[in-house]
Structure formats: structure tokens, C-alpha cells
Structure 1
Amino acid sequence: MVSLTFVFYLTCLFLWGKAQETHQSSSFHQESGFKSVNVGESILLRCFPGRMSIVLYWYRQTLGQIPKPITYLNNYGKTGTFYGEFANNSRFTLKTENHNNHLSISDLRISDSATYYCAHRASTIVEFAEGVTVSVKGSGLNINTSLQRSSSEIIQLGDSVTLNCTVHTGTCDGEHRVYWFKDSEESYPGLIYTHGGRNDQCERKNNKQPRNCVYNLPMENLNLSHNGIYYCAVASCGHILFGNGTKLELKNEEVSLILVYFLSGALAFTTILTLSLAALLYKHKRKGQQATGKL
């Protein structure tokens, strides 16, 4: 019969192995955030595999579409395999020095605007990193975003604001969809709202094609979780184009008031302490003078 001690040690060994595997797998990560680049430039998307990474992948997800695989790389190899439209495309290359999995894209085009995900397989499960959103600026749709304040110029907690996105369609007469993204320090960039058809938001001139389209994103009862940079993105004519972004920043007035009260109290305490010390010093000096006079 198997002893309880052996079972105990075996269980501990199994749990320790699982903990090590989890720790090593968690070291897998990707540089995330929002990157804005111009047409024709190059970009390097960095991905760092974990010790348990067996296979590494790159995926690209364009708004409204499913993720498409870009590359497959055995972590013990140095050459990756590219899929579909990315195969034999010299603009896409892998940088695998020091067992990294960095994706390099050169001669950027508007169509390269998307969210890129690095993924790995440590055992039987494929794990995705946070992803990085790439916005390629250049010719095409012209998008402007702005912030419309509903009350005062200073945005405070509890206020309401409206974000505006103006799309100048130019010569592109295809239907388009409008998305809103938020990028903040507390969370990864993510899609927060999608507009439907454009017809109700577009101005027409002489029954011609729409020229200007305005989309609004109202936000009420603002709190600190609303802080961040908001981007308007448009999918049209086979391209994705991001706006310039609008920063929304609110300050915690309660914290500021507490700080003011604290500093005021500290100043009052310092003043009282200074006056008390001065009085004691004066009193001590008077006693010294009186003692000297008696002598």
C-alpha cells in the first residue's frame, strides 16, 4: 500500500511544477498600446516569449473582421512561416534574435492599420497577449476628432461632455462604419462603441454623394475611470483610418481639497509652534536678565 508520505510528496511536486509552469508562461508578454505612424514608414512590434513557449504566432485583426494569422514560429527555430497574403511579402519580417518574436513591417500602408496580437502555445492552450493597435496616417479619408464641453471649460467630476468625430469622405463613395477606441494608463486600448449606418449623420450637397459626416459620442456623469485618449476610427473602401485622438482628463477635486486642508492645518500648526517657541525663548531670556540684575 502506498504510504501517505509518498502521496504527500508527490502532490507537492506536482503543484510545484504547475506553479513553475504558470510563472514561466506568465513571463510571455507583448508591447501593447496605441502606435501612430505615417504611410511609408516602418514599425517594429515587439513580443517576448516565456520559457515554456513552444510555438509563437502573430495575428492581425482589422475592425469588423476575424483575426488573420500572420506567422508561425517554433521557439527553437529562427525562421518563421508566413500565411496567406503575408507569405512572400517582403514588407513583413520576423526578428528572432535572442529567441524573441518581433514583427517588423516596412513601407506601411493604410491597409496595415489594425490590432496586432502576439500569441504563444506553452502546452495545449494558445494564449494571446494584450495586442497593439497600429494607426497608419496618410492619404485617404480625412478624420478630425474634437471635444465639445456641455458646460464649463474645466471638466470636473460629474460633468457631461460630447466627443465629436467629423469624417470628410472625399472621393471615396463606399459605405463606412465608425468606431470609438479608448486608450488609458489603467487599461489596454479597446473598442468602446460602434456607430451604425452613416446616412443620418452625413451632409449632402445637390443630391451628390455625402461629403461630411459627423458622429457624436455623449458621455454623462464623468468619473476618473473616463480619463484617457479617445480615438475615432473609420472602416471604408477597404481601409481603416484613425483620427488624431482627443484627451479627456479629469482631476479628483476631493483629493485636491483634502490636500489644501492638510497644508492649511500644517501651516497653522507650524505658526503656533513658532510663536510658542518664540514666547518660551523670550520668557527664558527675561529670567536670565532678572537673575543677572539680582547679582
Structure 2
Amino acid sequence: CISKKWKKQCESIFYTLVPMNIVQTGESVTFKCALPSEFNDRDVYWYKQRPGDTLTLIVRVSLRQHKLTTHKFEPEIPDSRWEVNNDQKFNRLTLLKASSSDDGLYHCELSAWTGSIEWSGTYLMVTDNTVRISNNIVIQQLAVSNPVRSGDTADFQCSVLFDSEKMACSEDFSMFWFQAKSNNIYPNMIYTEGNKHHECEKKSDSEKSCMFNFSKVVSSSDSGIFYCAVSSCGKILFGNGTRLEIEYQILLINYNFFFLDIFMEITSFESIALVTTVSCLVFSLILNIVLICYRAPRAGHKRSHGKYYKTF
């Protein structure tokens, strides 16, 4: 990040869900920064962050009473490629013609005079159908059995085979993890490992295989597809995705299902004898309840029948 002042906020960026926007080369793309309903005078800072790099300031926007008063691009940013506009709900930054060099994470920082700061971000991926992204191979898998239960730790593995002879550059790589839930249109970035060194195994003079691992304590809302993505030479290569299924634990009042589940997990003779005894007791209790319910109406019928003859 750019300074110690924003260190805490910058560190939290990579642990929140970040939407992803995919466009073709030459297309326009608009980034939105939501404005609070209780609006006051604020400054909006737009940053770009390439994988493994620090934040680069694009433009500073001054807002007064929901109106855009001034905006100033950084000297190294060509303002002819960008547009800034504003309404009651959003501040918008538009990139007019996207290119492969525009790949990265775009941050919006809302800063108020009170000192409060709010962050949001969108990952931009620019693709080109006429250019092959990479000759690298990504193999993705789940390291634990599927489905898993809520509260368990799910371990994901991503193996990447690099071929130095076919790579377009000698740039190091970064690893990202995305999650696509059933109710979301785009996958969300949930973690980035940045520009780190990983354990790699040399396959040949030009090929090497690197293993990446990601662990997450899952909850019932984590069902979906998890993707690993490798960023190198200004491009991102996605894995095939791993579907994670969450097993829901439902308490069944039906004793047959209850004891069937126990028999599947218990194999010792003493435990089986105990379960058998308890099963017999439960069956006896249910049988007694049925007999009591069966006798009660007949007894009531006899009493009413006796009263009828006595009155007559």
C-alpha cells in the first residue's frame, strides 16, 4: 500500500468480496463507487493496483452536496482515456478503451472531513479473442471429500505447469482465489497471495510445476464454485473450478433414520448391543403408546353405553 496511514484499510481490502468485470479489448467499462445516503462533503480517490504491485492513484474527485466540483488526474494518467461523472447514488469512473495493460484491481476510497474512510473495489480483466492468453496449464482440485459440513476446513489445491520457453515474458506470477455463488452473476475475489515464491518442482529444462494451497473454514452460505487464477505477463489464467457442496445437518425425529446413522458409524460389539437394547426400549415405548390410544376410545364407549341402559 502507499503509506502507513492507510495500512490497516489496505490490508482489509484483500479479505473482502470483490466483484469482477470482464471486457474485451477496446470496450468501455465503468466503475461505480456507492455514495452514502447521509451524504456530506467528501473526496473520492480512485486507485489502480496491478497484481503484486502497490496502489497507483488515478484521479481525485471533490464532491460537495452531491455535486462534482473538481477532479484532477495524476500527471502520468492520460485523462483522454477516462471520464468522471456523478449522481445522487454513485460516483462513476469510466475507462473509454480498455487494453490488456488495464488489467487489475480498481479501488474507490471515500474520505470525509471527519476522518472516516470507506473502501470498495472491482477487479477488471481485459481479454482478447485473437491472442492466446497462455500456454500454462492449471489443474484445480478439492483436497477434502465433498460434501463438507459447516464449520469444517476446506482445503483447495491448484497446480500450475509453467513452460518458460512458451511464456511471453519473464515476469513472476501471482495467485488469486475467486468464489462464484449461485446467486451472483460474477465471481468474487476472496483472497490473493500476491507476488510470492512457492514450492515448485522442475519437470524438465523448461517446465516446472508449482502447487498452491488455500484453506477456508466454510459455512452454510459457502456453497458454490471456487476458482484459482494465475496472473503473469499482464494476463490471468483461470482454473477449471472446484464445486464445494455444504452438507446440511438436519435433526430427524424419525428414530429409524437416527439409528441407521449410528449403525453406519459404530462397529464395536458392545456399542451395537447398546444400540439394539435402546432400539427395543424405544419400540416397546411406541407400542405401549399405541395400545393406550387404542384402548381409550373403547373404554369411553363402554361407559357411555352403560349409562344409556341405566337411564332407560
2:301 pairs, out of 275, 278, 285, with: 285
Q: Deviations over 1:166-185 (max 9, x none)?
A: 25554414232232335599
Aligned residue in 2 for 1:149? 143
Q: Which runs of 5+ in 2 are unaligned?
A: 1-15, 182-187, 259-281
Distance 2:89 2:156 in 1: 46
Cα deviation for residue 68 of structure 1 reads 0.9
2:79 pairs, out of 88, 91, 95, with: 88
Distance 2:138 2:87 in 1: 40
Aligned residue in 2 for 1:216? 212
Matches within 5 A, 1:14-163: 33-40=18-25, 41-50=27-36, 51-76=39-64, 77-78=67-68, 80-90=71-81, 92-98=82-88, 100-123=90-113, 125=115, 127-138=117-128, 139-141=132-134, 144-149=138-143, 152-155=145-148, 161-163=155-157
Cα deviation for residue 74 of structure 1 reads 1.5
Aligned residue in 2 for 1:26? none
Q: Deviations over 1:90-133 (max 9, x none)?
A: 3x322312262122335433332222211122116472414233
TM-score (normalizing by structure 2): 0.60
% identical aligned pairs:
14
Counterparts in 2 of 1:276 and 1:175: CA distance versus 1, 3 Å: farther
Distance 1:274 1:121 in 2: 71
Letter in 1 for 2:30: L
Distance 1:94 1:223 in 2: 40
Contact 1:230 1:245 in 2 (8 A): no
Q: Which runs of 5+ in 1 are unaligned?
A: 1-30
Per the alignment, in what secondary structure is the counterpart of residue 88 of structure 2? helix
Per the alignment, in what secondary structure is the counterpart of residue 80 of structure 2? coil
Contact 1:224 1:252 in 2 (8 A): no
TM-score (normalizing by structure 1): 0.63
Structural RMSD (CA): 4.3
Counterparts in 2 of 1:290 and 1:148: CA distance versus 1, 3 Å: same
Per the alignment, in what secondary structure is the counterpart of residue 80 of structure 1? strand
